[in-house]
């Protein structure tokens, strides 16, 4: 099982994901083995991509990458850094980037929290997408949720003034806890925004399943003030 870099924002050993050994198809494996210039490896150094004047967006936990592809095609002048730990999804996104000759995306297969902590400069991000984060349903697992106070603080430090954090969830109790968290007085002084109508974004596997199962999807957009 792959080792992930240590992080400081969450308690020792706490990860917002569960490392999974999943079946990988030949084409996913081929894309992972032949990433060309489309991947960035984790290192304890600030990102050297894109150029400083290019708007940089993060897609944290991109799944199979359909949202990243959608955003990257819609904004070809901007740069998108897509981060996930799930190798088959990394293969899917890399395959599509090759096939569609999309050049404004880079892919990282690592813990996004470590990337935010060590590779992203303060006040540098134009925006962050966290779409359908793992809900970690049981109360004893809430410490593994990516939307929690220490990650809000980290995200606030990395997003540029006027930049946004876009979150979508299909779990009502998670949506409720996100609303409550951002409603805290200290967070209200740092962020503005809240629930919004579903914006133009791709329909991901998770959203499709949620809708089939009758769950309501909530989109939030918070802007750093
Ligand atoms: C429920 S899936 C949603 C995937 C995708 N956003 C979608 O809407 O289809 C959550 C994803 O987040 C990833 N993830 C969770 N925590 C992460 C972290 N700290 N760094 C990178 N990826 C993470 C998981 O591996 C998983 O692929």
117 with 90: CB under 8 angstroms? no
Pocket of ligand 1 (CB under 6 A): 16-17, 60-63, 83-86, 89, 111-113, 131-134, 146, 204-206
Lowest mean pLDDT of 10-19, 171-180, 185-194, name the range: 10-19
- Which of 33, 59, 134, 153 is flagged as catalytic? 134
Among the atoms of ligand 1, which is closest to the Cα of residue 66?
Answer: 9
Cα separation of 32 and 39, whole Å? 9
Q: What is the DSSP string of the chain?
A: -------SSS-TT--SS--------HHHHHHHH--GGGB----SS----S-TTS-EEEEES-TTSHHHHHHHHH-TTSEEEEEES-HHHHHHHHHHHHHHT--SEEEEES-HHHHHHHTS-TT-EEEEEEES-----SGGGGGG-SSSHHHHHHHHHHEEEEEEEEEEES-HHHHHHHHHHHTSHHHHTTEEEEEE---S----HHHHHHHHTTPPPEEEEEEE-
Give the residue extent of every domain in the chain.
26-224
b/e burial code for range 117-141 (CB count within 10 A of at least 16 → b):
bbbbeeebbbbbbbbbbbbbeeeee
Active site residue 134: yes
Cα 63 to middle of ligand 1, angstroms: 6
Q: Band of the pLDDT at 31, cuts 50, 70, 90? A: confident
52-79 average pLDDT score:
97
pLDDT score of 1 more than 90: no
Inter-CA distances, 213 with 32, 205, 206, 208, Å: 33, 12, 11, 9
| Top mutation candidate among 17, 136, 158, 204 for ligand 1, by most atoms within 8 Å of CB | 17
CATH fold of 26-224, please?
Answer: Rossmann fold (3.40.50)
Take residue 134 and report the two structure tokens written for it: 């793992």
Cα 61 to middle of ligand 1, angstroms: 3
Q: What is the pLDDT of residues 61-74, one digit of tens each?
A: 999 999 999 999 99
Cα 112 to middle of ligand 1, angstroms: 9
pLDDT value at position 104?
98
pLDDT score of 210 more than 50: yes
Cα 116 to middle of ligand 1, angstroms: 15
| Top mutation candidate among 4, 28, 63 for ligand 1, by most atoms within 8 Å of CB | 63
191 with 223: CB under 8 angstroms? yes
Cα 130 to middle of ligand 1, angstroms: 8
Percentage of the chain with pLDDT > 70? 99
pLDDT value at position 2?
52
For ligand 1, atom 5, the nearest C-alpha belongs to 63
180 with 174: CB under 8 angstroms? no
pLDDT value at position 101?
95
For ligand 1, atom 11, the nearest C-alpha belongs to 61
| Top mutation candidate among 6, 61, 204 for ligand 1, by most atoms within 8 Å of CB | 61
Take residue 178 and report the two structure tokens written for it: 């996100």
């Amino acid at each position: 099982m792959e080792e992930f870099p240590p992080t400081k924002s969450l308690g020792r050993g706490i990860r917002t994901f569960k490392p999974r050994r999943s079946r990988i198809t030949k084409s996913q494996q081929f894309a992972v083995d032949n990433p060309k210039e489309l991947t960035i490896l984790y290192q304890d150094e600030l990102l050297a991509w894109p150029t400083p004047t290019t708007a940089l967006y993060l897609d944290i936990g991109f799944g199979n990458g359909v949202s990243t592809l959608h955003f990257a095609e819609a904004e070809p002048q901007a740069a998108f850094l897509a981060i996930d730990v799930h190798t088959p999804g990394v293969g899917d996104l890399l395959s599509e980037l090759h096939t569609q000759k999309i050049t404004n995306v880079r892919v990282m297969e690592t813990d996004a929290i470590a990337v935010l902590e060590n590779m992203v400069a303060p006040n540098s991000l134009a925006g962050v997408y966290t779409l359908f984060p793992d809900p970690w349903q049981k109360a004893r697992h809430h410490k593994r949720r990516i939307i929690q106070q220490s990650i809000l603080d980290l995200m606030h430090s990395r997003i540029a003034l006027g930049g946004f954090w876009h979150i979508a969830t299909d779990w009502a109790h998670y949506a409720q806890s996100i609303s409550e968290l951002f409603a805290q007085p200290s967070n209200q002084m740092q962020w503005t925004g809240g629930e919004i109508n579903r914006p133009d974004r791709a329909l991901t596997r998770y959203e499709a399943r949620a809708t089939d199962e009758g769950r309501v999807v909530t989109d939030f957009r918070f802007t750093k003030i």
